Structure 1
């Protein structure tokens, strides 16, 4: 019998949809609503590999077929015009696609459907861009590997779907000097020994407008995950980034002693602190950037906004996001192109007591510095983070004449829940005053509070006390700030306690912290 929808059932369905839908986000360039999936599908491709225990290493272990799906995916993209190429699960549960580098083009969206995974080849020859060094570490400073997904001068392109793209960073390399001896992450760890790692990024897109990432999961990149550069208009909504996933570690990242890259080659277990340079979302020299309702846990910066030579990085909003392991919500280290007009709002950051964990972070130095201005952090819940705030113009030891300047930095409606390994954490506040330049950090701490153990200032990083810092403190922060911050003419530190125009808010963080595993099944945490 044909079912007829009554007005009541239609209203119930609409209400259920509305409850699931995420609210639009107000930005400097207008109200941005949740993206939608493409209505035109140029081609639908079905998987031909079955994932076993979270991996397809069984499939390409003999090295005979390292990228069997590359040609059909690339041909489908090349043949598509203003539509999507959709990757779906096969009729017998074939959920995996295996590819080398593919090139996205304008007007085309790569749609990885729910249950499907696009896996990266683990053969360095598939990524080699000329010098012959991809897959090793040496003293050469050039970049030797193509990214898994590349594209230039893109307009109205994107990557969407509830599936995932997996870089397989912990899987053994198949060819070259490290064949069967190291994974991509083992190679990356050699950077700790003063070498240059030659491994690939998951995605690098250069130049364009209206780029969309929606609902997709990115995992286990050997290096940076997402690097879109020189774009006007980037919307990343509901994405997840996780490195390392459970297939390369133990629950809770409880690796047995002697199994991680710092102790064993090849490593048999990885943690976020031993997968080097695996940044999450790194938009560079771009404007009108929105990251919303997203989840990131990785081995380096959760977000690192790059602002090197080129277009100014400006008009960026980071709203309703959850960060876990990582080096924080960062701007820099390159700021010589300028970064301005940022809003970071409703951020939940749970650092899991990582020794290198950061919270709110702006980093640069005089070899790559420039103006960073009008950065507002409004609405932050944080816990278990070693360095809750790092605003540092001396990120590196080298010196030059590109001087960093951090002004108009505002932190408000911020609450830190103490009680982890590092108590209230450490604040690192250093403006720039040397080489005849005086560019003090201009920081306003308004409605900022610590519950439990209070923070320390600096210490633990081998750096001086607060330096060239002009700090204003609102009444809600006065209780902990007065014994902590002192005027120091010698160090150009001034502290002023000011009234705010509105009543101080006390942010409710009681329901803020959510386990990553509750939203992504193969998260170890």
Structure 2
């Protein structure tokens, strides 16, 4: 008997493409359920399902009673009792037969929380976090320390020093599913080490903002290295001290209906309206009491590094760094990726890079909604690299994108940071943006559109039905980090057949090495975004927005 899908409904929009002349017409219609499948370049991917009851090898009951998304400080004030549920969860996973699941459930007296240190997933075993259950991470840095004694501080040592909360190596047919929550407690005060009783994980991370010479030593929420067919379904990942979801060297990742949210309402105020003097950038010597996405540094959402056959669908991300970061720094690169029907909020964009050494190819972004809330660090879609870690990025298509309140809606930047030793040049080719509608920003108008490449490796980009309401993006601007002095530079633009609303500005003012192929023959209406935007709080009660 097939298990039922998640009961929670998500919003989606139907996208229809009119081929032939390469004209892309997009129709959006709000619905109450997601489609049961997504078509990718490597085949049809069906929506995952929860395990059947008979496949549960062991149910592990919750032991804690959180209040308003927090555990009382007295629960783990004693560092020797900082992770009381680790053994029960790990033992259940270790002894679970392949093909079955460990289910974390509400306790017999209404307990809904489990408090754990690092746990390791097992190949062939699924971790099922039931509805109403939250897995809370230990706030004791010693529980994560890899032996260097650095976890929980920021200093000049750049070595990895913290184990992740959840990890796995060479996993096959594993995953994390359910309607529960994994909470990294990034805004909770640490209990051991140099910052015990004074700083949170996010305070430690913010030290890297105040000084470029230090490295934060904070744990990731999930880190999986090697394997195939890993599934994330329905789970909320929030308040990570560092990156949320990191994969490296996997063939086959499906993330469907997940939510990534940092900081959650437990560590801030509605609308992120923190009072003056309560956030990390205004606090000296003591911990902050309120956090915003701009003050939770290096909290990437979904990073499918060096992986292939990757699908993220019907998911929601709001965080303090890249929403998505597709990397290719070693191995065989990243290829065959699909991002479909996703909603992004605070964050630095759906990004490729900055490491592109070994190449990224065959990537499609379809039916994307970005609401940046006028954050000073908000980004829409982005490809970024530099001459120390560049490689070939090709065959990337964005189609059906709705954007509002974003400072940098379009970024294609081979000068993401200054490169002193230029040995690995970025090359961005065969990039297509089709059906892109920016509805403007109260703070930034049309925002910025960055097109910057090296003369030997010009950016090749096609824009079709790319339209901005009202103010147009600033595309002609001063160079940065060693780029040509005037941007756009070293770019081959192909316009059409649909309108590109800021094409005239690009053609009239630009830097060197820019060429245009103007094939605009049609004037379609902009992509209909009237039903595209939804409040994060409508899909997550933990959201401040």
Pick from 285, 292, 301 the counterpart of residue 280 of structure 1. 301
Aligned to 1:38: 51
Aligned to 1:392: 413
Aligned to 2:96: 80
**How far did residue 473 of structure 1 move?**
1.3
Aligned to 2:449: 427
The 3 A distance-change label for structure 1 pair 524 and 19 is closer
Quick check: 1:403 aligned with 2:405? no
**How far did residue 288 of structure 1 move?**
0.5
**How far did residue 485 of structure 1 move?**
3.3
The 8 Å contact of residues 224 and 246 in structure 2, kept in 1 or not, is answered as yes
Quick check: 1:468 aligned with 2:503? no
Q: Deviations over 1:457-511 (max 9, x none)?
A: 15488564211111111153344311333475x61011221147x8846311001
Aligned to 1:141: 158
Quick check: 1:291 aligned with 2:312? yes
Q: Deviations over 1:445-465 (max 9, x none)?
A: 111101121111154885642
Gaps of 5+ in 2: 1-6, 8-30
**How far did residue 64 of structure 1 move?**
3.9
**Equivalent residues in 2 for 1:264-275, closer than 5 Å:** 264=283, 265-275=286-296
Quick check: 1:316 aligned with 2:337? yes
Aligned to 2:70: 55
The 3 A distance-change label for structure 1 pair 167 and 516 is same
Query: In structure 2, the residue corresponding to 1:299 is in which secondary structure?
Result: coil
Query: In structure 2, the residue corresponding to 1:477 is in which secondary structure?
Result: coil
* Matches of 1:348 and 1:221, distance apart in 2: 23
The 8 Å contact of residues 243 and 272 in structure 1, kept in 2 or not, is answered as yes
The 8 Å contact of residues 471 and 494 in structure 1, kept in 2 or not, is answered as yes
* Residues 469-478 or 221-230, more deviating: 469-478
Query: In structure 1, the residue corresponding to 2:294 is in which secondary structure?
Result: helix
The 8 Å contact of residues 390 and 426 in structure 2, kept in 1 or not, is answered as yes
Pick from 263, 280, 287 the counterpart of residue 261 of structure 1. 280
Quick check: 1:249 aligned with 2:248? no
* Matches of 1:60 and 1:478, distance apart in 2: 57
The 3 A distance-change label for structure 1 pair 478 and 37 is closer
Quick check: 1:105 aligned with 2:122? yes
* Matches of 2:471 and 2:532, distance apart in 1: 20
* Residues 55-64 or 164-173, more deviating: 55-64
Tell me the TM-score normalised to structure 1 length: 0.93
* Matches of 1:400 and 1:461, distance apart in 2: 18
Aligned to 1:515: 535
The 8 Å contact of residues 478 and 497 in structure 1, kept in 2 or not, is answered as no
Query: In structure 2, the residue corresponding to 1:191 is in which secondary structure?
Result: helix
**Equivalent residues in 2 for 1:58-457, closer than 5 Å:** 58=73, 59-81=75-97, 82-192=99-209, 193-194=211-212, 195-264=214-283, 265-398=286-419, 399-433=421-455, 438-457=456-475
The 8 Å contact of residues 68 and 98 in structure 1, kept in 2 or not, is answered as yes
* Matches of 1:503 and 1:314, distance apart in 2: 34
* Residues 470-479 or 115-124, more deviating: 470-479
Query: In structure 2, the residue corresponding to 1:73 is in which secondary structure?
Result: helix
Higher relative contact order (CA 8 A, sep 6+): 2
* Residues 306-315 or 462-471, more deviating: 462-471
The 8 Å contact of residues 413 and 505 in structure 1, kept in 2 or not, is answered as no
The 8 Å contact of residues 486 and 493 in structure 1, kept in 2 or not, is answered as no
Query: In structure 2, the residue corresponding to 1:48 is in which secondary structure?
Result: coil
The 8 Å contact of residues 472 and 501 in structure 2, kept in 1 or not, is answered as no
**How far did residue 69 of structure 1 move?**
0.4
* Matches of 1:124 and 1:330, distance apart in 2: 30
Q: Deviations over 1:143-170 (max 9, x none)?
A: 1000000110100000000000000000
Gaps of 5+ in 1: 1-12
* Matches of 1:213 and 1:461, distance apart in 2: 40
Q: Deviations over 1:380-404 (max 9, x none)?
A: 0000000001100011112321110
The 8 Å contact of residues 355 and 385 in structure 2, kept in 1 or not, is answered as yes
Quick check: 1:496 aligned with 2:512? no
The 3 A distance-change label for structure 1 pair 478 and 202 is closer
Task: Give the alignment's Cα RMSD to 1 decimal.
Answer: 1.7
* Matches of 1:145 and 1:477, distance apart in 2: 50
The 3 A distance-change label for structure 1 pair 86 and 458 is farther
Aligned to 1:524: 544
Tell me the TM-score normalised to structure 2 length: 0.90
* Matches of 1:113 and 1:497, distance apart in 2: 54
The 3 A distance-change label for structure 1 pair 250 and 166 is same
* Matches of 1:327 and 1:32, distance apart in 2: 27
* Matches of 1:218 and 1:295, distance apart in 2: 10
* Residues 63-72 or 409-418, more deviating: 63-72
* Matches of 2:367 and 2:182, distance apart in 1: 27
The 8 Å contact of residues 432 and 462 in structure 2, kept in 1 or not, is answered as yes
* Matches of 2:442 and 2:177, distance apart in 1: 36
Aligned to 1:477: 499
The 3 A distance-change label for structure 1 pair 449 and 85 is same
* Matches of 1:308 and 1:184, distance apart in 2: 27
